Amino acid sequence: MTEPAVAANDARPLFFQRRFLPMWTALSFGTFADNTLRQALLIGIPAGVIQLPVFENTDNAVPYIGALLPIAILLFSSVSGQLADKYETSMMFRRTKFAEIILMGAAATAFITGSGLLAVAMLFVMGAQSAFFSPVRVSAMPKYLQTDELVRGNGLCNAGLFTFILLGYVVGGFLIIEENGRYLVGAVLIITATIGWLAALRTPVAAANEPDLKISFNGVTQTYKMFRYVFTSRGVTPPLLGVGVFYFLSTAITVVIPFYGRDALYASPVVWTVLNGLFAIGAGIGAVSAASLAKTRTGLGFSTFAIGIAGILTFVTALITPLAAGSPTEPLSLGEMFSSPFGILLAVLLIATSALSGIYIAPLQAALQRRAPAPIRARILAASIFANAAFAIPGSLAVLAVTATSLPPTAAFLGVGAAMLAISGIMLYRRKTLDHGLYDELFYAGGETNR
């Protein structure tokens, strides 16, 4: 494990230090722009604001749109990981964020001109940009932070991530249904991308992991190599898979929410947006909680119990949905939802489930960063990003089981709840059967782990 490239001698809290805040700001505002664009499409299409003539039933377009970002990440991760290992970190931050300004300008043009197909295409291209930014960011954290700061750093990054996902959901979802919403969405995309680039200009210099690396553009070969690094690096595979499964489940829930709001809760489009916002609020709370709970330990034990409780609450959410719902002829308004005891309970359950999921994910991300060998760290983390995308695609497309059949949207919640309980069971089994349970020797004594 190499020492961080940036000295940790700043007396200010980690969040306000230059080795963290510019990176966090670039991540958060990029997340906001991506989710404003995505949510404007996911809400605008079912609400009839955005037209896609390619699809006879526009509802069926939504799962495919949800899969565009991860598909782009799959295609470009093999190259992006190499670039993040080869080149100096702050330069990569600057260039990827400047490209975002150009791309968001094109997306804004699509909204302003009313070109739904172009807007969808730009969502795919933004996925490609994310594929190049993400390995730079995740591999920069072990350079900027001390080993015992990684859980806290991941928790704070996740808190920003989910908070700005929430803001993107709210802004994209609410603006697109306004009279001049397409123009407002376009302006927001350009402004936020510019803020992210300005933050990237302040990221500290950190040396390349492997400056002599020769870049290969053979995606198949490089993807094979990435995962060979994963499987031959001790202790990397379990947290990588744990994070990937999280992306499968969270993507499925995010994509199904508009249909859950419309066809199970019988709610207005405003409520659909708020439901996704509740998930983002909970995830932010969970990320901050993970950072606080795991200051002197790996936090993997908290992950185990959090995902199990989240599974139970997900089942309860599905069961109480009919009690909180409106009717097909009188859709549930936002005010009615929060004035009903069952509506309030539903909101609390969504926030709590998401918070527990946030506690689950941050320690796994930190374990992956800790355990990845420094010379190939960015490529291993690019493999993780590839795996996240590979899990997210079927997570999104699984919603076709709802849109293309007679299954109720609550079936998705039952499936997700069952998967969460299975994950908790696997982690409990490993905790009991492995010599060191779910704790890293590396975290405490500088040794390696073989889990």
Q: Write the pLDDT tens digit of every residue in 19-45.
A: 999 999 999 999 999 989 988 887 777
Contacts of residue 219, defined as CB under 8 A and 6 or more positions apart, other chains included, come to 75, 78, 79
Place of tokens 């990827």: 96
pLDDT of residue 72: 84
- How does pLDDT run across 287-316, given as a tens digit for each residue? 778 777 656 566 777 888 999 999 999 999
pLDDT tens sequence across 60-109? 677 777 777 778 888 888 888 899 989 999 999 999 999 999 999 999 99
Q: Is residue 143 pLDDT above 70, yes or no?
A: yes
Average pLDDT, the chain: 84
Task: Please state the domain extents for the chain.
Answer: 14-445
**Both tokens assigned to 199:** 């933050």
Q: What pLDDT shows up at residue 312?
A: 96
CB environment 170-208: b (16+ within 10 A), e (fewer): bbbbbbbbeeebbebbbebbeebbbbbbebbeebbebeb
Count of residues making up the chain:
451
pLDDT at 169: 77
Strand partners, 332: 267
Burial 219-247 (b: 16+ CB within 10 A, else e): eeebbebbbebbeebebbbbbbbbbbbbb
Q: Where are the alpha helices (DSSP H) in 294-409?
A: 300-324, 334-339, 341-371, 377-397, 400-403
What's the pLDDT at 449? 41
Task: Band the pLDDT of 444: cuts 50, 70, 90.
Answer: very low
Distance CA 22, CA 202 (A): 6
Q: Would you say residue 337 has pLDDT above 60?
A: yes
C-alpha distances (whole Å) from 449 to each of 125, 297, 370, 376 are 38, 15, 10, 17
Check pLDDT > 50 for residue 1: no
Indicate left, alpha or beta for 396 from its phi (over 0: left) and psi (-120 to 50: alpha). Answer: alpha
Please report the pLDDT score of residue 447 as a whole number.
Answer: 44
The predicted pLDDT at position 33 comes to 94
Per-residue pLDDT tens over the stretch 209-232: 889 988 888 888 888 888 999 998
Level-2 CATH architecture, domain 14-445? Up-down Bundle (1.20)
CA distances from 218 to 209, 221, 225, 363, 432 (A): 21, 6, 11, 33, 42
pLDDT > 70: percent of the chain? 89
Whether residue 370 is predicted with pLDDT greater than 60 in this model: the reply is yes
Question: What is the arithmetic mean of pLDDT over 358-365?
Answer: 86
Instruction: Identify the residue whose tokens are 């696997």.
Output: 426
Whether 381 and 136 have beta carbons less than 8 Å apart is answered as no
Q: Please give the Cα distance from 283 to 177 (Å, whole number).
A: 26
Residue 56 pLDDT greater than 70, yes or no: no
Q: Which of 65-79, 140-154, 194-208 has the highest mean pLDDT?
A: 194-208
